[in-house]
Amino acid sequence: MNALLERSVSGHLPELLTQRLPRPNGVGSVIYVNAEGASRLLPEGQLATLLPKATLWVLNDAAVLPAALWVEVEGSGTRIEIRIASLNDESGTFSAIGFGSGNYQVQTEQRGAVQQLPVGAWLRSAASVRFEVVHQTGRLFELRCAGGYRGLLHALYTSGAPIQYAYTARPHQLREVQNSYVGRPWAIEPASAGRHLSASVLSALQAAGQQLAWLTHAAGISSTGDAALDALLPFPERYEIPEATAVAVAAARERGSLVVAVGSSTTRALEAAASPGGALQSGSGLASLRLHADYEPQVVDVLLTGIHEAGSSHRELTRAFASDGALDAAWHLAAAHDLKLHEFGDAMLIRRR
Amino acid sequence: MPHGEPKNWGVSSVLITGASRGLGRALALELCRRGVNVALVARNAEDLEATTAEARKLGEARGAKAEAIVADVADLADAPRIAGLAQALIGPLDAVVHNASDLGETPLASLLDGDSERLEQVFRTNVHGPLALTRAVAGNFLLHGRGVVLGISSDAAVEHYPTWGGYAASKAAFDHLLGTLAAELGDGLRVLSVDPGEMDTDMHRAAMPDADPATLADPQAIAIQLAHLLAAPYRVPSGTRLSTRELSALEAA
């Protein structure tokens, strides 16, 4: 058990409650952690004016796919839930995690196992779209949609649902998990830090002389219910960085402006596409790097991200930006103000130490 | 460019509602012919597939994609699906054309005789639905610093014709929403409304069965004018409502 988790469990850190329902975009509190590690709660509306003029904000504009789908094993009638694990091309072949008995309210670790299926077995969705098992190891499947990419989209958008979290008070709808500025549906789970940037906040940022740029990153599955698979997360995720964003980042660095990444998925794409020294390569790629305490960010100066418990993989990546002491202090402040955890909760804006 | 004044841009991927017939169909075909990707939305799967197949053929030479999405824009909850499918299939959108329209009961009825529930349905299709779809796509335009939201309006939105009251009010309401949206989004985007005039379409026949088709515009001619507008939307200030005359003047310019 890592030291932080131990301290959390032993009660060193106070408890924070989970936000159990999506709030409208732009609603929520933000704690600012400055470069010295001091944290404070931002007054409402101050997000847009906190950082110096000409700060560049980079956002991941991926929309969330309805990536969870119940299917029936042909011949046996057994029903399993498949959640897309990665969808990095448009071939119609993809990897997925299978869950047996239980529904979204059951923690993924407690969900029923899935039977071992022979290669070539078929799964069928409610919309009668068929999927062939190409490979299976435990919960991890490689599936091929008989209708190709179009067939997969059809199945997801007619019978699928966004991946649900066990902590939510009721199943959430697709529209509730979309950020206000999304385009292509590449994300398997929400790039949820973006919830804090409603269209009004984007306009306020522009009015305050901040700059906006975008990329698209296929934010992936966050929990597989299998410890060995969870240890491999995040899986490689596709991203695309437009030329204009690479140019904007270079210009920001040239003039000494800060680069803010909205969310860990944006950070992952920017850092994956950076050469040592911070020049950003535009175009498409697969991000496979993992952020951790010893990682030295090449592009990102400031990270806007949700609040997650000590010991979580999410907390681990924030350690690339701030010391454990600074993160603990932010946590105490969050608890003092009754802020909320997880995807639909409040946020931290962390300036690199 | 992600920010600053956009210059010399034209749309590359457009979502069109009511795309299986009339003006929507003509515009989808015209845009594909010019190499613009089009997501066609309509309720009737058979008509929609036929139009989409035609658009795909016209777009082939210039590599334009055409994809069909069967949907009713009056179903507000369906907007994220329409927006998601469209962009999964044809790529990032940079324009939405709200062309689908509900005339209301036919024969047209006076306001005192008309059916209130039917009028609600008109507003759902002509106002609430397009707004929900705009919410699903235009935030991305704001982030990208460019994009067009185009409403197809009617002169009924500014004139007062007996029996046209419900439809007219819905068109006036949506024009007003677009004007406010233009004020909210700033000048990088183009939020526009167009009055295409009287056209020889199924909808016009339903409203005025006795009209002489020879006096009505060919939807294809209007589609060409709209395609011109979408090829260089920056020429018109955001928030503009274009009359038929202004639209054709743009084509000539």
Q: Residue by residue, what is the 3-state secondary structure of chain B?
A: CCCCCCCCCCCCEEEEECCCCHHHHHHHHHHHHCCCEEEEEECCHHHHHHHHHHHHHHHHHHCCCEEEEECCCCCHHHHHHHHHHHHHHHCCCCEEEECCCCCCCCCCCCCCCCCHHHHHHHHHHHHHHHHHHHHHHHHHHHHHCCCEEEEECCHHHCCCCCCCHHHHHHHHHHHHHHHHHHHHHCCCCEEEEECCCCECCHHHHHHCCCCCHHHCECHHHHHHHHHHHHHCHHHCCCCCEECHHHHHHHHHC
Residue B12 C-alpha, separation from nearest chain A C-alpha, in angstroms: 14
Q: How far apart are CA B2 and CA B4, in angstroms?
A: 7
Choose, out of B37, B87, B128, B184, the residue to mutate when testing the contact with A (most A CBs < 10 Å). Answer: B87
What's the CA angle centered on B32, arms B30 and B37, to 5 degrees? 135
Q: What phi and psi, each to the nearest 5 degrees, are found at residue A350? A: -110, 120
Q: Tell me which residues of chain A have a C-beta less than 8 Å from any C-beta of chain B.
A: 59, 61, 63, 65, 150, 153, 157, 173-175, 178-185, 199, 202-203, 206, 211-214, 216, 242, 244-245, 248
Q: Which of A150, A183, A244 is facing B140, going by the closest CB pair?
A: A183
Mean pLDDT of B185-203: 92
CB contact under 8 Å between B2 and A179, yes or no, is no
Positive or negative, the CA dihedral B128, B132, B135, B137 is: negative
Please answer whether residues A86 and A108 qualify as being in contact, where contact means their C-beta atoms are separated by less than 8 angstroms: no
pLDDT attached to residue B6 = 54
Mean pLDDT of B127-154: 97
CB contact under 8 Å between A174 and B80, yes or no, is yes
CB atoms closer than 10 angstroms to residue B117: 7
Q: What is the pLDDT confidence band of residue B136, given thresholds at 50, 70 and 90?
A: very high
pLDDT attached to residue A87 = 94
Q: Which two tokens stand for residue A121?
A: 């077995």
Please answer whether residues A67 and A224 qualify as being in contact, where contact means their C-beta atoms are separated by less than 8 angstroms: no
Q: Which two tokens stand for residue A290?
A: 């993992």
CB contact under 8 Å between B142 and A202, yes or no, is yes
User: Residue B82: closest CA among chain A residues belongs to which residue?
Assistant: A157
Contacts of B144 in chain A (CB under 8 A): 61, 183, 214
Q: Higher-confidence residue: A106 or B40?
A: B40
Mean pLDDT of B164-191: 96
CA dist A19 to A245, A318, B38, Å?
Answer: 33, 20, 39
What residue type is A222 in one-letter code?
Answer: S
Q: In 3-state terms, what secondary structure has residue A86? A: strand
**DSSP states of A210-228 as a string?**
-EEEEEEE----S--S-HH
Q: Which two tokens stand for residue A23?
A: 């709030």
Cis bond before residue A234 (omega within 30° of 0): yes
Provide the number of CB pairs (under 8 Å) joining chain A to chain B.
Answer: 79
User: In this structure, which long-range contacts are made by residues B161-169, counting pairs with CB atoms below 8 Å and at least 24 apart in sequence?
Assistant: B162/B110, B163/B107, B163/B108, B163/B109, B163/B110, B164/B108, B164/B207, B165/B110, B165/B111, B165/B114, B166/B104, B166/B111, B166/B114, B166/B118, B166/B119, B166/B122, B167/B101, B167/B102, B167/B103, B167/B104, B167/B108, B167/B122, B167/B126
Please answer whether residues A283 and A240 qualify as being in contact, where contact means their C-beta atoms are separated by less than 8 angstroms: yes
Please answer whether residues A215 and A238 qualify as being in contact, where contact means their C-beta atoms are separated by less than 8 angstroms: no
Q: How far apart are CA B41 and CA B18, in angstroms?
A: 6
User: Residue A173: closest CA among chain B residues belongs to which residue?
Assistant: B77
Q: What is the pLDDT confidence band of residue B4, given thresholds at 50, 70 and 90?
A: very low
CB contact under 8 Å between B140 and A181, yes or no, is yes
Q: What is the pLDDT of residues B83-100, one digit of tens each?
A: 999 999 999 999 999 999
B3 pLDDT above the threshold of 70? no
Please answer whether residues A312 and A137 qualify as being in contact, where contact means their C-beta atoms are separated by less than 8 angstroms: no
Please answer whether residues B116 and B63 qualify as being in contact, where contact means their C-beta atoms are separated by less than 8 angstroms: no
Residue B240: partners with Cβ closer than 8 Å, 6 or more residues away: B192, B193
Please determine, for the modelled complex, whether the ipTM score is greater than 0.90: yes
pLDDT attached to residue A64 = 97
Q: Which of B3, B79, B84 is facing A211, going by the closest CB pair?
A: B3
Alpha-carbon dihedral angle through residues B185, A199, A39, A302, given to the nearest 10 degrees: -80
Which residues of B are identified as catalytic? 167
Q: How far apart are CA A195 and CA A83, in angstroms?
A: 22
Q: In 3-state terms, what secondary structure has residue A171? A: coil
Report strand pairing: B37-42 vs B13-17: parallel
Per-residue pLDDT in tens (0 to 9) along chain A, 353 residues: 344 444 554 456 788 888 888 899 999 999 999 999 999 999 988 999 999 999 999 999 999 999 999 999 999 999 999 999 999 999 999 999 999 988 888 888 889 889 999 999 999 999 899 999 999 999 999 999 999 999 999 999 999 999 998 888 899 999 999 999 999 999 999 999 999 999 999 999 999 999 999 999 999 999 999 999 999 999 999 999 999 999 999 999 999 999 999 999 999 999 999 988 779 999 999 999 989 999 999 999 999 999 988 878 888 899 999 999 999 999 999 999 999 988 889 999 999 99
The chain-wide mean pLDDT, for chain B, equals: 94
pLDDT attached to residue A301 = 97
Q: Which two tokens stand for residue A4?
A: 């932080």
**DSSP states of A21-81 as a string?**
SPPPTT-S-EEEE-TTS-EEEPPTTGGGTSSPTTPEEEEE-PPBP--EEEEEETTT--EEE
Report strand pairing: B66-70 vs B37-42: parallel
What residue type is A217 in one-letter code?
Answer: H
pTM, rounded to two decimals = 0.94
Cis bond before residue A43 (omega within 30° of 0): no
Please answer whether residues A322 and A33 qualify as being in contact, where contact means their C-beta atoms are separated by less than 8 angstroms: yes
Please answer whether residues B121 and B65 qualify as being in contact, where contact means their C-beta atoms are separated by less than 8 angstroms: no
Q: How far apart are CA A268 and CA A234, in angstroms?
A: 10
Residue B243: partners with Cβ closer than 8 Å, 6 or more residues away: B155, B195
